Each structure stands twice: as structure tokens, then as C-alpha cells.
Chain A
Amino acid sequence: MTESIESILKEGYAVWRRNLILGVPFVLSALASLVIVGCAVALVVFVLNPVGIDFPDTSVDYGLLFADGLLLLLAGILILLVSAFFKAGAIGMAAEAVRKGHTGLDPMFEYGSRRFLQIFALDVLLSVATILPVLVLGVPAALVALAFGGTGGQFLLQLLVFMSTLLGVLFAAAPYAIVVSGRGVLDGLRDSFLLLKKKKIPYLLLWVFGYYLDEYLAYIPVFAAGTVFAVMFLAVPLNADMFTTLQDAPMQALNLLTSLSLAFALGMAVFVLGIFLVSALVIAPLTTVWWSRFYLKNREVVKE
């Protein structure tokens, strides 16, 4: 009898607890993406489009616009490549942790450098497969609806949600087949589909569990942000007769605005930091360990 989904979740959790280093690839991936975005924006703003004090020319420079677009596209590709490297590395680390009980950073570089191109190709392929039906089916339908006085925006959005969910479910195991078993991109897709076909219930349960865990753990940063905002709000100089006196006291109004903005900004900062920490250090490594374990325990069924 194959391992139950409960056992996979419990054992995977224990493996993650013993190997908190599994969060490193996700943290590095996020930081690297942030640096790339920062550099790209800085290049666009300060090098390609320097806005001087005298900037009389308001005509559209198509060459510059093309250069901006090209730079942003290159930045996007670079982000995909970097995240593919760390994703392959994280799966390699997780697979080693599942097999041996412990892991280090070496598998990250080893698997990352060996399989990142395949993971990159997979990500691009899945993105195209998600968007293509929306472009081919959704956009003409939305345009026809628009011509007759209707609106198709909601349809486009729902179609996009449907496609990304469908492909996300069908090929959730593909990166694991590519990294752990060294399969090619198309073979990885095939293996994932066969795994779903032969292990429907545990596969879907694992996918759903990862999805909702992500959703519900996101409450933690929301609650933390709410608490920080509430505590900060204690320092906001509000009182019951404030609204009658505010217009006569500009300094009081400025104080109020500053402390309100500070409370809001701190709350938002805690929220963003919390989402980043929960996502990179808990959810992503945990789901990677679970899927690695599930794939390793069941990969024989796709060969039958």
C-alpha cells in the first residue's frame, strides 16, 4: 500500500522542521528578483528616460519606448531564469532531505545549475498555454460582446483563473519529474499528467492542501499588520471634539496626518514582510518537501 496523504504531510513537516535551510532558495529567489526589478526600473527611469528640469519635448519617442519595453522584457526573462534556478535547487534540496533526512546548500547549486533551463522552459510553456486560450477564445468573445454593448472583462478574468488553475493542477508534479528524475520538459508534463491519472485523490488532496494552507496562513501577516496598526493608532492624537477644532489648528491636523500615515505605513510594512517570511520560509519549502516526497513515493506508477 502506498503512503497515505496524512503520512506524507506529517513526515514532510518533520523533514522541514529538521531542515529549515530549505527556505534559503526561496528567500534568495525573492531577493534576486527584487534586485533585478530595482535595476531595471533604475535603468528605465535614470538612464533611458532622464527627466531634466527643462524637458520641453513632449512628443512620443517610439525608439525609446521600444528600448524601455525591451529592457523590461529582458528583466522579466532574467527573473524567470533566476527563479527557475532557485526552484530547481529547492526541489533538489527537498528531494535530498526526503531521501537522506538532511540537506545542505550544495544540492541547490548542483540541481539548480543542472536543471534550471528545463524549469525555465516549463514555466514559459505553461505561461503561454495559460494565456493562449484567453487570447484566442476570450479576447474575440470580449470584443464581440463590447461591439454589442456588453462587457467581456469579467469573462477574460475568469477564463484566465480557470486556465491557470487547470494547468496548475494538471502539471503540479512536472517540476519534480524534471528535477528529481531528470526528465525533459515534455516528459515531465506527461509524467505529471499520468501521476494525476493514477493517483487522483492523493494528488488532488495534496494540491488543495497546499493551496488553502497558503490562503489561510496569509491570515497571520494580516492579523499581525492589524495588531501593529491598532497599537500604533493609540499614539494618534484623536479626541472627540477634534473635528470642530481641526480647521483652526493646522499643526494639529499635520500631527494627525503624520501619525495616521505612520501607523498605516508600519502596518503595511509588517504585512509585506510577514507575507514574504511566511511564504518563503514556511509555505514554499513545506509544499516543495511534500510534493518531493509524494513524487518519490509514487514515481514508479508512471513507469508502469
Chain B
Amino acid sequence: MKNRIEDILKEGYLVWRKNLVLGLPPLLGGISVLVAIIAAAVCMVAVAVVFFGALIVNIGGGGYPQGDYSAIYPAAIPFILALAAVTALFIVVILLANAFFASASIGMSAKALETGKTEAGDITYYGRRNMWQIFSASILMILINIAGLLFFIPAIAALVAGFLNVAISFLVLGLVALIAYVTIAGLLLILTPYSIVAGDLGAVEGLRASYSTVMKNKLPVVLMWFAVMGLEAGFGIVANVFTSGMGAIPFIGTFLNIGLYVLYAIFNALFLVPITMLWWTDFYWSRAAKVKKVSHHRPSRHPTPEPSAKQPEIYM
């Protein structure tokens, strides 16, 4: 079993080189989230059009007494509820899409690390396998982050009691505590999706496994975390030079930059995300205590014959 971070990074790169198809789930995930956001925007506009249309008809038709618009407020409640429902629905849709593609990505990464090969057909199999557990874990992680807002309760209490300076003091302290809490919680739970998929655990067990693995491997986890951030920041610096250079061009610079942003997003999906997933999956396997290493051979009723040596490999 590999233990050196250097070996994990090298192995991850080599596996990615042989399995460019690993970029497909993040790419599809990004597209589906984009589509969901556009659909949400369209739905919200539709709800707004219906509400304001009814309002205009009511005002024009004398539905409200002249100059008295207090009746509008009760009429706005269904509009607000409809907007909240649309927002909640699309948040759930986006979380589900993310969970599906994260599950697919990590499952395929695990298979590629274990067998050396994965393929596009694995997306649906691995996507469905741990989607609900990752979705539940995402909700729990959101709730854990939201719990950080409790740090502001003393400030609110002081404000309600009329102690303005105490309220501002507690607000600053609450902000300091919130930043520290969110950063530390994010780091402690960083391995959750990998423990769920690579260790085949439930949502709560995944959170626990991430916590215990991080606590037992503080330095390696921080090292991996910095390595991932460094990789992203390194390419980010190069991208910034190009985008700022294009941005300096009058008139067409903005349009050229839109193209560059799209290209960078594709590069991110095809390289940065898959390689990061490979690294963290391998890291989890090599560092988690008593890890149940689940076989990621995909069961098949119709085993495909071994490809001949001359057959070209098609990854995308």
C-alpha cells in the first residue's frame, strides 16, 4: 500500500493519463448544474410574470381601492411561497446532480486506481451506487456549516437587550469564530465523499470516517489540501494572465474572455477535478484506519472481450 504523498500524486497523474474519460462526469455535472440554474431563472421569471400580470390586471380593473395598496401584501404571499418553492426545488436538483456526478467520478476513480481502466459506461452505474448517501451527506454538511451561525446568537441577544457596543463586540467575535469553525469543519469533513464511495459507507458513517481519518493524519491531509489548492492556484495564475491580457483589448476583449472562461471551465472539468478525485480517493485508501476497501470491479452479466492490442483506445 502506498503511503507517500509523492507516490499518490504521481500515480494519480499516470492513472488520469490513461483514463481521460474521468473528465466526463465533472463535465456533465457542470453542464447539468448550468442547465438547472438557467431553468430555475426561467421558472422564477415565469412566477414573477404571473404575479405581476395578476397585480396589473387587478389594479387596472379596480381590484384595489384607489391609492390603497395594502391589499397587495397578502396577495404577495403566494408569490413569495412560489419563489421559495422554486428555489428549494432547484437547490435539491443541483445537490442531486452534484451527488450523482460526484459518486460517478469517485467510483470511476476508484475503479481506475484498482484495475487501471474505467470507461464512459461506468458513469450511470457508479453514479447511482452512492448518490443518495452523498446527497444526504451534502445536506448534513450544509447543516453543520449553518450551525456556525449560532455564534451570532450572543450578538443578537445583546442587540435585543439594547447593548449596542456589546452587540458589535460579539458580532466581531462571532465572525472570527465562524470563519475558524467553517474552515476547520471543511477540513475535517473533506474526505466524506471519498469515504462514502471508496469505503462504501452511509452518510453519517462517511462523516465519521472522514473526521477520524483526518484527525489521525493531520499533516498528510493538510499537505494534500495545500497540494490541491496549489495546483488550482497555479493554473489560475496562468489563466489570469491571459484573461487580464484579453481584458485589456478594447471592444472584443470581453467576448474573447467569455471564450477563455469556457475553455478554462472545460479544462477544470477534464483535468483538475478528475486528478483531484484520484488523489483524494487513493489518499483515503492508503490512510484510513481499518478501511473497508470495496472492490470497484463493475459486475457485468455480459463480460466484454479483452480488446486486441491493435485496437485504438477511445476515451471520449
Contact = CB atoms under 8 A, between A and B. Distances in A.
A145 interface: yes
Interface string A87-113: 000000000000000000000000000
A242 to B, nearest CB: 7
A216 to B, nearest CB: 8
Interface string A215-244: 000010001001101110111111110100
Interface in B247-268: 247-250, 253
B164 interface: yes
A165 B226 CA distance: 16
B168 A161 contact: no
Nearest to A232: B169
Question: By DSSP majority rule, is chain A's interface helix, strand, loop, or mixed?
Answer: helix
Contacts of A242: 164
A107 B230 CA distance: 34
A141 B245 contact: yes
Nearest to B177: A223
Contact of B248 (A154, A207, A226): A154
Interface string B224-240: 00110110001001101
Contacts of B197: none
Contacts, number: 125
B16 interface: no
A211 to B, nearest CB: 7
Interface size range of chain A in the complex: 35 or more
Nearest to B230: A208
Interface residues of B, number: 41
A63 interface: no
Interface string B265-288: 000000000000000000000000
Contact of A230 (B170, B223, B229): B170
Nearest to B8: A201
Nearest to B164: A238
A207 B226 CA distance: 10
Given A149-B250, A154-B248, A226-B176, A238 B9 contact: no
Given A154-B244, A205-B227, A212-B230, A230 B172 contact: yes
6 contacts: A4-B3, A4-B4, A6-B220, A158-B241, A230-B169, A238-B165
Interface of B: 3-6, 9-10, 162-166, 168-170, 172-173, 175-176, 179-180, 183, 219-220, 222-223, 226-227, 229-230, 234, 237-238, 240-241, 244-245, 247-250, 253
Interface of A: 4-6, 9-10, 141-142, 145, 148-152, 154-155, 157-159, 161-162, 165, 201-202, 204-205, 207-209, 211-213, 219, 223, 226-227, 229-231, 233-240, 242
